[in-house]
Chain A
Amino acid sequence: MLLKLEHVKKEYDSFKLDCSLEVKKGQVTGLVGSNGAGKSTTFKSILGLIFPDEGNIELLGKDISAITASDKEEIGVVLTEANVCEYLTAKDLIPIMKAMYKDFSTEDYMDKCKAYGIPLKKIIKDFSTGMKAKLKVILAMSHNAKLLILDEPTAGLDVIMRNELLDMLRDYMENEERGILISSHISTDLEGLCDDIYMIANGKIIMHEETDVLLSEYGVLKLTKEQYETVDKAYILSSKEEKFGYLCLTNQKDFYMENYPEIAIEKGNIDDFIILMEKGVRK
């Protein structure tokens, strides 16, 4: 187990977090949810940047209060709000990283900067959003960390750059000892990368499922009002009223395909599921 959160609670004026999740070795775990759902609060709690009111966080097998500076060499972090010391250049960072991490590879870092078009001698403050985002991910992956903790690493990137970055993460995972916790509000990014996905809304985890199950067994039913009245709702997780009738999220689309061939059933994607779970009436 690389990371384990047990009912981590944090209360703000108008927001309450209560989050439990796990990241296992060899796995990529995703956290999806809309802005303000509690993703950043969760990440900051894991990293000890804020102090939860209650609950346990175990990072690399240790309670986070016992994490030392050298333990942190084992993690690579990207936070949306965090930015590399922006008055420096990418080259300035080399001796700093070298002094910080035993396993930092200057060569690898320079190669990656070159490959992803990061100028070494330009002040980071003057980088484009995309360049900054890429640099952050390159830094997180530069020191052989066991666990990557990535909060919205693809934010601000265009589709091509996002794919490049996701490929970088896939390369990183070829070493089985590693694991990744990643959040994104672009769920298609996560569909092809994560092994399991947590869905968070209003500070609570409302769904946890293997990506494979989500994509093969979940589906969206489009029902008329009459169909909605008669259909067996045993496998309906959430429904939302629409002009034409109801949209329903099911975790057993085969059941409905076999028993109700007349119903319109869509495979759906994670975005549809999020909308239905968040905006619909949950069972």
Chain B
Amino acid sequence: MNLIINNSSMTPIYEQIVSQMKEKIMSGQLKPDAMLPSVRTLSKDLRISALTVKKAYDAMEQEGYIVTVHGKGSFVANVNPNLAIEEKQKEVEKIFEQGIRKGKECGMTKEDMMELFDVVLSDF
């Protein structure tokens, strides 16, 4: 499993694992039913604590990206393609939010922002 962990990033390590794994699952690099490395193995490979990996796996399981079969290991779930799209939309939403917040901070009105949005959009 090729994950790159940035130890000095402000993003918690388990979030880094989650986002990179999701990326791999969505892009099809990790196929459904593929077996993931065990918690201990991944923690060994990444030189991070096992609890961190476990936290990441738990989070992904809750979101339906992976399935853990007790005693067997964790596997990539059959991810609903809508889930993938939803996920991407969430990211876009987040970026919009950030933009709007910045806009408000420097005193832009709703109309100013709409106008700006149209300008940027027309460039594509």
Contacts and interface: CB of A to CB of B under 8 A. Distances in A.
Q: Do chains A and B touch in the complex (CB under 8 A)?
A: yes
Interface of A: 26-28, 166-167, 170-171, 173-174, 176, 191-196, 210-212, 215-217, 257, 267
Interface residues of B, number: 19
A28 B39 CA distance: 13
B113 interface: no
A216 B14 contact: yes
Contact of A215 (B13, B43, B50): B13
B51 A196 contact: yes
A173 B13 contact: no
Contacts of A217: 12
Nearest to A169: B44
Nearest to B45: A170
A195 B49 CA distance: 5
Contacts of A215: 12-13, 52
Nearest to A211: B49
The 4 lowest CB-CB distance pairs between A and B, nearest first, are: A216-B12, A170-B44, A192-B47, A195-B51
Given A267-B8, A267-B10, A212 B51 contact: yes
Contact of A26 (B8, B44, B50): B50
Interface in B1-54: 8-10, 12-15, 38, 40-41, 43-44, 47-52
Given A173-B50, A174-B41, A176-B40, 15 more contacts: A26-B50, A27-B51, A166-B47, A171-B44, A173-B40, A174-B40, A174-B44, A193-B49, A211-B51, A212-B55, A216-B13, A216-B14, A217-B12, A257-B10, A267-B9
